[in-house]
Structure 1
Amino acid sequence: MNFFLASLSIFMEIALAAIVDDFSCTVNGVYTSSATACANTISDQACAVFYPESSPNAGFPLPGNSVQRPYKCYSVNANGGAVSADMKKAAISNCAKTCGMCCLTPAYNCPNAPFPSMDCNSITASQCSSPIWRELIAKNCPAACGFCNDGGCVDGVTDCANDITICTNVVMQDFVNQYCKKTCGRCNGSNPSKPTCTKYPGDSASACAAWAANGYCTNSFYTDETRRRYCATTCKIC
Protein backbone atom coordinates (compact mmCIF):
# COMPACT_ATOMS: atom_id res chain seq x y z
CA MET A 1 0.00 0.00 0.00
CA ASN A 2 2.79 2.38 0.93
CA PHE A 3 4.56 1.55 -2.32
CA PHE A 4 1.38 2.30 -4.26
CA LEU A 5 0.95 5.65 -2.54
CA ALA A 6 4.58 6.54 -3.14
CA SER A 7 4.28 5.65 -6.82
CA LEU A 8 1.07 7.64 -7.10
CA SER A 9 2.76 10.62 -5.46
CA ILE A 10 5.62 10.53 -7.95
CA PHE A 11 3.18 10.18 -10.85
CA MET A 12 1.16 13.16 -9.66
CA GLU A 13 4.32 15.21 -9.23
CA ILE A 14 5.33 14.52 -12.82
CA ALA A 15 1.82 15.01 -14.19
CA LEU A 16 1.43 18.34 -12.43
CA ALA A 17 4.92 19.59 -13.26
CA ALA A 18 4.98 23.04 -14.70
CA ILE A 19 7.67 25.33 -15.99
CA VAL A 20 8.50 28.10 -13.52
CA ASP A 21 10.83 31.10 -13.35
CA ASP A 22 12.28 30.79 -16.87
CA PHE A 23 9.96 30.27 -19.83
CA SER A 24 12.49 30.31 -22.66
CA CYS A 25 11.57 28.27 -25.75
CA THR A 26 8.03 27.59 -24.54
CA VAL A 27 4.56 28.47 -25.81
CA ASN A 28 1.52 28.14 -23.57
CA GLY A 29 3.54 26.25 -20.99
CA VAL A 30 5.05 23.60 -23.27
CA TYR A 31 8.42 23.39 -24.97
CA THR A 32 8.60 24.18 -28.67
CA SER A 33 10.35 22.02 -31.26
CA SER A 34 13.29 24.43 -31.26
CA ALA A 35 13.80 23.99 -27.51
CA THR A 36 15.87 20.84 -28.00
CA ALA A 37 16.67 20.98 -31.72
CA CYS A 38 20.39 21.60 -31.23
CA ALA A 39 23.17 19.40 -29.86
CA ASN A 40 24.90 19.97 -26.54
CA THR A 41 28.42 21.36 -26.87
CA ILE A 42 29.67 18.86 -24.32
CA SER A 43 28.44 15.28 -23.96
CA ASP A 44 24.83 14.59 -23.04
CA GLN A 45 26.04 12.50 -20.11
CA ALA A 46 28.09 15.39 -18.72
CA CYS A 47 25.19 17.79 -19.17
CA ALA A 48 22.90 15.48 -17.20
CA VAL A 49 25.42 15.62 -14.35
CA PHE A 50 25.93 19.37 -14.45
CA TYR A 51 22.21 20.05 -14.92
CA PRO A 52 20.29 17.33 -13.07
CA GLU A 53 16.53 16.95 -13.26
CA SER A 54 14.56 19.41 -11.18
CA SER A 55 13.24 16.49 -9.11
CA PRO A 56 13.73 12.69 -9.17
CA ASN A 57 12.28 11.12 -12.33
CA ALA A 58 11.00 14.49 -13.54
CA GLY A 59 12.68 14.09 -16.91
CA PHE A 60 14.21 16.74 -19.16
CA PRO A 61 12.63 19.23 -21.59
CA LEU A 62 11.26 17.77 -24.82
CA PRO A 63 9.04 19.31 -27.49
CA GLY A 64 5.45 19.22 -26.28
CA ASN A 65 6.12 18.46 -22.64
CA SER A 66 6.04 20.86 -19.69
CA VAL A 67 8.53 19.43 -17.21
CA GLN A 68 10.37 21.92 -15.08
CA ARG A 69 13.75 22.51 -16.71
CA PRO A 70 16.78 21.84 -14.46
CA TYR A 71 17.03 24.72 -12.02
CA LYS A 72 20.78 25.07 -12.54
CA CYS A 73 20.12 25.99 -16.17
CA TYR A 74 19.12 29.46 -15.08
CA SER A 75 19.39 29.92 -11.31
CA VAL A 76 22.02 29.79 -8.61
CA ASN A 77 19.36 28.53 -6.21
CA ALA A 78 18.82 24.79 -5.82
CA ASN A 79 15.07 25.16 -6.25
CA GLY A 80 14.96 27.91 -8.83
CA GLY A 81 13.86 31.46 -8.28
CA ALA A 82 15.61 34.51 -9.65
CA VAL A 83 17.07 34.06 -13.12
CA SER A 84 20.85 34.46 -13.26
CA ALA A 85 22.14 35.80 -16.57
CA ASP A 86 25.52 34.12 -16.01
CA MET A 87 24.00 30.71 -15.23
CA LYS A 88 21.75 30.95 -18.24
CA LYS A 89 24.60 32.00 -20.53
CA ALA A 90 26.70 29.04 -19.42
CA ALA A 91 23.80 26.64 -19.96
CA ILE A 92 23.13 27.95 -23.47
CA SER A 93 26.81 27.69 -24.33
CA ASN A 94 27.37 24.16 -23.02
CA CYS A 95 24.12 22.24 -22.56
CA ALA A 96 21.38 24.05 -24.46
CA LYS A 97 19.60 20.84 -25.45
CA THR A 98 19.51 19.40 -21.93
CA CYS A 99 18.22 22.72 -20.60
CA GLY A 100 15.65 23.16 -23.38
CA MET A 101 17.25 26.41 -24.51
CA CYS A 102 18.29 25.68 -28.09
CA CYS A 103 16.10 28.49 -29.38
CA LEU A 104 18.47 30.95 -27.65
CA THR A 105 21.64 29.70 -29.33
CA PRO A 106 23.08 31.79 -32.20
CA ALA A 107 22.09 29.17 -34.80
CA TYR A 108 18.42 29.28 -33.80
CA ASN A 109 17.95 32.79 -32.44
CA CYS A 110 17.03 34.94 -35.44
CA PRO A 111 13.88 36.21 -37.16
CA ASN A 112 12.37 34.22 -39.98
CA ALA A 113 11.45 35.91 -43.27
CA PRO A 114 8.69 38.54 -42.86
CA PHE A 115 6.48 36.76 -45.37
CA PRO A 116 7.75 33.17 -45.63
CA SER A 117 6.50 30.94 -48.40
CA MET A 118 5.96 28.13 -45.90
CA ASP A 119 4.67 27.63 -42.37
CA CYS A 120 7.76 27.97 -40.19
CA ASN A 121 5.99 26.48 -37.17
CA SER A 122 5.22 23.20 -38.92
CA ILE A 123 8.74 22.35 -40.08
CA THR A 124 9.92 18.92 -38.91
CA ALA A 125 13.38 17.61 -38.08
CA SER A 126 13.31 15.39 -41.17
CA GLN A 127 12.68 18.42 -43.37
CA CYS A 128 15.70 20.15 -41.83
CA SER A 129 17.92 17.37 -43.23
CA SER A 130 16.06 16.85 -46.52
CA PRO A 131 17.73 17.91 -49.81
CA ILE A 132 14.25 18.89 -50.99
CA TRP A 133 13.61 21.35 -48.17
CA ARG A 134 16.91 22.62 -46.73
CA GLU A 135 17.52 25.55 -49.09
CA LEU A 136 13.91 26.66 -48.98
CA ILE A 137 13.93 26.57 -45.19
CA ALA A 138 17.23 28.45 -44.97
CA LYS A 139 15.75 31.33 -46.94
CA ASN A 140 12.33 31.40 -45.29
CA CYS A 141 12.57 29.90 -41.80
CA PRO A 142 16.25 29.79 -40.73
CA ALA A 143 15.38 29.71 -37.01
CA ALA A 144 13.42 26.48 -37.48
CA CYS A 145 16.49 24.41 -38.40
CA GLY A 146 19.42 26.28 -36.92
CA PHE A 147 20.37 28.06 -40.15
CA CYS A 148 20.62 31.54 -38.61
CA ASN A 149 24.37 31.81 -39.21
CA ASP A 150 24.25 30.63 -42.82
CA GLY A 151 22.87 33.71 -44.55
CA GLY A 152 20.38 31.65 -46.52
CA CYS A 153 23.13 29.45 -47.96
CA VAL A 154 23.21 25.79 -46.91
CA ASP A 155 24.29 22.49 -48.38
CA GLY A 156 21.44 20.46 -49.82
CA VAL A 157 22.91 17.33 -48.27
CA THR A 158 24.44 17.22 -44.82
CA ASP A 159 27.73 15.39 -45.45
CA CYS A 160 29.42 17.56 -48.09
CA ALA A 161 32.10 18.72 -45.65
CA ASN A 162 33.14 15.14 -44.96
CA ASP A 163 35.16 15.17 -48.17
CA ILE A 164 35.87 18.65 -49.50
CA THR A 165 37.87 17.25 -52.42
CA ILE A 166 34.56 16.97 -54.25
CA CYS A 167 34.66 20.78 -54.57
CA THR A 168 37.53 20.51 -57.04
CA ASN A 169 36.67 17.17 -58.62
CA VAL A 170 35.70 18.01 -62.20
CA VAL A 171 33.26 15.13 -62.59
CA MET A 172 31.43 16.17 -59.39
CA GLN A 173 30.69 19.77 -60.33
CA ASP A 174 27.04 19.31 -61.26
CA PHE A 175 26.50 17.62 -57.91
CA VAL A 176 28.32 20.16 -55.75
CA ASN A 177 26.74 23.10 -57.58
CA GLN A 178 23.34 21.74 -56.59
CA TYR A 179 23.90 20.08 -53.23
CA CYS A 180 27.13 21.45 -51.68
CA LYS A 181 26.79 25.18 -52.25
CA LYS A 182 27.92 26.25 -48.79
CA THR A 183 30.85 23.87 -48.42
CA CYS A 184 32.14 24.56 -51.93
CA GLY A 185 31.36 28.28 -52.03
CA ARG A 186 28.76 28.06 -54.79
CA CYS A 187 26.04 30.19 -53.24
CA ASN A 188 24.50 32.83 -55.43
CA GLY A 189 25.39 36.29 -54.23
CA SER A 190 24.80 39.75 -55.48
CA ASN A 191 27.14 40.03 -58.42
CA PRO A 192 28.29 43.44 -59.60
CA SER A 193 27.51 44.30 -63.17
CA LYS A 194 30.14 43.00 -65.52
CA PRO A 195 31.84 45.56 -67.73
CA THR A 196 30.96 45.52 -71.40
CA CYS A 197 33.50 45.77 -74.18
CA THR A 198 33.78 45.24 -77.91
CA LYS A 199 37.24 43.72 -77.99
CA TYR A 200 38.46 40.89 -75.79
CA PRO A 201 41.99 39.89 -74.78
CA GLY A 202 43.37 37.06 -76.86
CA ASP A 203 43.14 33.43 -75.81
CA SER A 204 46.37 32.11 -74.30
CA ALA A 205 45.36 28.46 -74.62
CA SER A 206 44.95 26.66 -77.92
CA ALA A 207 42.17 24.34 -76.71
CA CYS A 208 39.64 27.03 -75.75
CA ALA A 209 37.10 26.00 -78.39
CA ALA A 210 37.10 22.41 -77.13
CA TRP A 211 36.95 23.58 -73.52
CA ALA A 212 34.05 25.88 -74.26
CA ALA A 213 32.15 23.03 -75.87
CA ASN A 214 32.52 21.16 -72.59
CA GLY A 215 31.19 24.06 -70.51
CA TYR A 216 34.40 25.87 -69.57
CA CYS A 217 32.88 29.32 -70.15
CA THR A 218 29.75 28.69 -68.09
CA ASN A 219 30.70 26.14 -65.43
CA SER A 220 30.96 27.93 -62.06
CA PHE A 221 33.78 25.56 -61.09
CA TYR A 222 36.07 27.95 -62.96
CA THR A 223 36.42 31.56 -61.85
CA ASP A 224 36.11 34.51 -64.21
CA GLU A 225 39.79 35.24 -63.58
CA THR A 226 40.77 31.75 -64.73
CA ARG A 227 38.60 31.97 -67.84
CA ARG A 228 39.98 35.42 -68.62
CA ARG A 229 43.56 34.21 -68.26
CA TYR A 230 43.22 31.38 -70.74
CA CYS A 231 40.17 31.93 -72.95
CA ALA A 232 39.07 35.57 -72.72
CA THR A 233 38.12 35.83 -76.41
CA THR A 234 36.31 32.50 -76.61
CA CYS A 235 34.40 33.17 -73.37
CA LYS A 236 33.91 36.86 -74.23
CA ILE A 237 35.37 38.22 -71.01
CA CYS A 238 36.73 41.76 -71.00
Structure 2
Amino acid sequence: MLLIILLSNLFVNSAGGAITDLNCTYAVGGDYKFAQSAVNCKNKMSDANCQILYGDAVKVDTNNTDRDAKCAGNPVNPELLHTAINTCPKQCGYCCLTPAYNCQNKLQPRYPCSSVTQDMCESREWRSILEEDCPKTCGLCDSGSCVDEAPGCNLENSFICQSKNLETFAKRYCKKTCGYCNTAPTAATGVGCGTNANCASWVRNGFCSSTFYTEAHKRQYCGRECGLC
Protein backbone atom coordinates (compact mmCIF):
# COMPACT_ATOMS: atom_id res chain seq x y z
CA MET A 1 0.00 0.00 0.00
CA LEU A 2 2.81 2.38 0.91
CA LEU A 3 4.53 1.71 -2.42
CA ILE A 4 1.32 2.43 -4.33
CA ILE A 5 0.88 5.76 -2.55
CA LEU A 6 4.51 6.74 -3.14
CA LEU A 7 4.34 5.86 -6.83
CA SER A 8 1.07 7.74 -7.28
CA ASN A 9 2.74 10.82 -5.83
CA LEU A 10 5.00 11.05 -8.85
CA PHE A 11 1.98 11.96 -10.97
CA VAL A 12 0.50 14.61 -8.68
CA ASN A 13 0.93 18.14 -9.94
CA SER A 14 3.14 20.38 -7.83
CA ALA A 15 1.61 23.39 -6.14
CA GLY A 16 2.97 26.90 -5.68
CA GLY A 17 1.77 30.06 -4.07
CA ALA A 18 0.86 30.81 -0.47
CA ILE A 19 0.75 28.12 2.19
CA THR A 20 -2.60 26.31 2.33
CA ASP A 21 -1.90 23.46 4.79
CA LEU A 22 -1.23 25.26 8.08
CA ASN A 23 0.38 22.34 9.95
CA CYS A 24 3.76 23.35 11.45
CA THR A 25 3.31 27.03 10.58
CA TYR A 26 2.90 30.27 12.51
CA ALA A 27 0.91 33.40 11.75
CA VAL A 28 2.47 36.75 10.87
CA GLY A 29 -0.25 39.29 10.31
CA GLY A 30 -2.56 37.71 7.77
CA ASP A 31 0.08 35.36 6.39
CA TYR A 32 1.52 32.04 7.54
CA LYS A 33 5.14 30.93 7.49
CA PHE A 34 6.78 27.57 8.06
CA ALA A 35 8.05 27.29 11.64
CA GLN A 36 11.34 25.76 12.73
CA SER A 37 9.28 22.86 14.10
CA ALA A 38 8.43 21.97 10.49
CA VAL A 39 12.00 20.87 9.74
CA ASN A 40 13.64 20.01 13.09
CA CYS A 41 13.70 16.25 12.45
CA LYS A 42 15.27 13.87 9.95
CA ASN A 43 13.69 12.21 6.93
CA LYS A 44 13.06 8.48 7.37
CA MET A 45 14.16 7.88 3.77
CA SER A 46 17.32 9.33 2.24
CA ASP A 47 17.19 13.05 1.45
CA ALA A 48 17.91 12.23 -2.19
CA ASN A 49 14.90 9.91 -2.45
CA CYS A 50 12.69 12.42 -0.63
CA GLN A 51 13.73 15.05 -3.18
CA ILE A 52 12.64 12.74 -5.99
CA LEU A 53 9.32 11.86 -4.35
CA TYR A 54 8.31 15.24 -2.96
CA GLY A 55 10.25 17.94 -4.79
CA ASP A 56 12.01 20.82 -3.05
CA ALA A 57 12.05 20.90 0.74
CA VAL A 58 10.05 23.57 2.55
CA LYS A 59 11.92 26.65 3.74
CA VAL A 60 11.55 28.01 7.26
CA ASP A 61 10.20 31.54 7.78
CA THR A 62 8.89 31.83 4.22
CA ASN A 63 5.32 32.21 3.02
CA ASN A 64 5.66 32.55 -0.73
CA THR A 65 5.98 28.84 -1.55
CA ASP A 66 3.55 26.14 -0.46
CA ARG A 67 4.50 22.52 0.10
CA ASP A 68 4.71 20.47 -3.04
CA ALA A 69 1.23 19.03 -3.64
CA LYS A 70 2.77 15.54 -3.68
CA CYS A 71 3.33 15.85 0.09
CA ALA A 72 -0.33 15.69 1.05
CA GLY A 73 -2.41 16.82 -1.90
CA ASN A 74 -4.40 20.03 -2.22
CA PRO A 75 -6.83 19.80 -0.52
CA VAL A 76 -5.10 17.56 2.01
CA ASN A 77 -5.52 13.82 1.51
CA PRO A 78 -5.16 12.02 4.91
CA GLU A 79 -3.45 8.98 3.36
CA LEU A 80 -0.88 11.10 1.53
CA LEU A 81 -0.29 13.16 4.68
CA HIS A 82 0.25 10.02 6.77
CA THR A 83 2.72 8.67 4.22
CA ALA A 84 4.68 11.93 4.07
CA ILE A 85 4.95 12.07 7.88
CA ASN A 86 6.27 8.50 7.99
CA THR A 87 8.73 8.79 5.11
CA CYS A 88 9.91 12.36 4.46
CA PRO A 89 8.63 14.62 7.27
CA LYS A 90 11.48 17.13 6.98
CA GLN A 91 11.20 17.41 3.20
CA CYS A 92 7.48 18.17 3.45
CA GLY A 93 7.66 20.29 6.61
CA TYR A 94 5.71 17.91 8.86
CA CYS A 95 8.24 17.29 11.65
CA CYS A 96 5.86 18.73 14.25
CA LEU A 97 3.39 15.93 13.43
CA THR A 98 5.83 13.06 13.95
CA PRO A 99 5.43 11.09 17.21
CA ALA A 100 8.74 12.41 18.56
CA TYR A 101 7.66 16.06 18.31
CA ASN A 102 3.86 15.94 18.54
CA CYS A 103 3.42 17.12 22.14
CA GLN A 104 3.90 20.28 24.21
CA ASN A 105 6.74 21.52 26.38
CA LYS A 106 5.93 21.99 30.05
CA LEU A 107 4.31 25.35 30.81
CA GLN A 108 6.83 26.08 33.56
CA PRO A 109 10.03 24.18 32.70
CA ARG A 110 12.94 24.05 35.11
CA TYR A 111 15.16 25.36 32.29
CA PRO A 112 13.91 27.60 29.43
CA CYS A 113 13.12 25.30 26.50
CA SER A 114 13.98 28.10 24.07
CA SER A 115 17.57 28.02 25.38
CA VAL A 116 18.00 24.25 25.13
CA THR A 117 20.73 23.21 22.69
CA GLN A 118 21.04 20.02 20.66
CA ASP A 119 23.99 19.01 22.85
CA MET A 120 21.74 19.29 25.90
CA CYS A 121 19.05 17.21 24.19
CA GLU A 122 21.62 14.46 23.63
CA SER A 123 23.20 14.72 27.09
CA ARG A 124 22.59 11.87 29.54
CA GLU A 125 22.78 14.33 32.42
CA TRP A 126 19.90 16.41 31.04
CA ARG A 127 17.84 13.56 29.60
CA SER A 128 15.45 12.99 32.51
CA ILE A 129 14.74 16.72 32.88
CA LEU A 130 14.25 17.43 29.17
CA GLU A 131 12.08 14.34 28.63
CA GLU A 132 9.57 15.87 31.04
CA ASP A 133 10.09 19.62 30.58
CA CYS A 134 11.08 20.15 26.92
CA PRO A 135 10.12 16.99 24.98
CA LYS A 136 8.87 18.91 21.94
CA THR A 137 12.11 20.88 21.64
CA CYS A 138 14.27 17.75 21.83
CA GLY A 139 12.04 15.32 19.95
CA LEU A 140 11.44 13.22 23.07
CA CYS A 141 7.63 13.08 22.99
CA ASP A 142 7.61 9.32 22.48
CA SER A 143 10.17 8.54 25.18
CA GLY A 144 10.17 8.56 28.97
CA SER A 145 7.70 7.11 31.45
CA CYS A 146 5.14 9.92 31.17
CA VAL A 147 2.38 9.00 28.69
CA ASP A 148 -1.12 10.07 27.68
CA GLU A 149 -3.84 7.88 29.16
CA ALA A 150 -6.60 8.88 26.73
CA PRO A 151 -6.50 8.23 22.97
CA GLY A 152 -6.40 11.19 20.63
CA CYS A 153 -4.98 13.80 23.02
CA ASN A 154 -2.83 15.26 20.24
CA LEU A 155 -5.64 15.32 17.68
CA GLU A 156 -7.34 18.25 19.39
CA ASN A 157 -4.21 19.57 21.07
CA SER A 158 -4.92 23.27 20.61
CA PHE A 159 -8.33 22.80 22.25
CA ILE A 160 -7.69 20.26 25.01
CA CYS A 161 -4.41 21.72 26.23
CA GLN A 162 -5.47 25.37 26.11
CA SER A 163 -9.01 25.10 27.46
CA LYS A 164 -9.33 26.18 31.09
CA ASN A 165 -12.44 24.04 31.45
CA LEU A 166 -10.49 20.94 30.43
CA GLU A 167 -7.40 21.62 32.52
CA THR A 168 -8.24 18.91 35.08
CA PHE A 169 -8.87 16.39 32.28
CA ALA A 170 -5.63 17.36 30.51
CA LYS A 171 -3.56 17.01 33.68
CA ARG A 172 -4.99 13.55 34.32
CA TYR A 173 -5.32 12.01 30.87
CA CYS A 174 -3.15 14.06 28.45
CA LYS A 175 -0.03 14.65 30.53
CA LYS A 176 2.48 14.05 27.76
CA THR A 177 0.76 16.00 25.01
CA CYS A 178 -0.13 18.97 27.20
CA GLY A 179 3.13 19.20 29.14
CA TYR A 180 1.90 18.09 32.57
CA CYS A 181 4.46 15.37 33.30
CA ASN A 182 5.77 15.14 36.84
CA THR A 183 9.06 16.80 37.57
CA ALA A 184 12.19 14.71 37.40
CA PRO A 185 13.41 13.07 40.60
CA THR A 186 15.59 15.34 42.65
CA ALA A 187 19.22 14.50 43.15
CA ALA A 188 20.12 12.73 46.34
CA THR A 189 21.21 14.90 49.22
CA GLY A 190 24.89 14.87 49.92
CA VAL A 191 25.79 14.45 46.24
CA GLY A 192 29.33 15.51 45.39
CA CYS A 193 30.28 18.86 43.93
CA GLY A 194 30.24 18.68 40.13
CA THR A 195 31.23 20.90 37.23
CA ASN A 196 29.37 20.16 34.01
CA ALA A 197 30.91 21.28 30.70
CA ASN A 198 27.76 23.33 29.99
CA CYS A 199 27.77 25.20 33.32
CA ALA A 200 28.86 28.55 31.91
CA SER A 201 25.86 28.62 29.57
CA TRP A 202 23.44 27.33 32.22
CA VAL A 203 24.58 29.88 34.80
CA ARG A 204 24.08 32.72 32.29
CA ASN A 205 20.50 31.50 31.83
CA GLY A 206 19.73 31.57 35.55
CA PHE A 207 20.41 27.97 36.59
CA CYS A 208 21.88 28.91 39.99
CA SER A 209 19.01 31.21 40.96
CA SER A 210 16.21 29.09 39.50
CA THR A 211 13.64 27.93 42.04
CA PHE A 212 12.80 24.90 39.89
CA TYR A 213 16.10 23.18 40.75
CA THR A 214 16.94 21.81 44.17
CA GLU A 215 20.21 22.77 45.83
CA ALA A 216 21.30 19.16 45.35
CA HIS A 217 20.79 19.46 41.58
CA LYS A 218 22.76 22.70 41.48
CA ARG A 219 25.58 21.18 43.52
CA GLN A 220 25.63 18.06 41.34
CA TYR A 221 25.91 19.87 38.00
CA CYS A 222 27.42 23.31 38.75
CA GLY A 223 28.37 23.25 42.41
CA ARG A 224 31.46 25.44 42.11
CA GLU A 225 29.91 27.90 39.66
CA CYS A 226 26.87 28.33 41.91
CA GLY A 227 29.04 28.86 44.98
CA LEU A 228 27.79 25.76 46.78
CA CYS A 229 31.14 24.00 47.27
Please report the TM-score for the alignment, with normalisation by the length of structure 1. Answer: 0.47
**Which is higher, the Rg of structure 1 or of structure 2?**
1
Q: Which is bigger in relative contact order (C-alpha 8 A, separation at least 6)?
A: 2
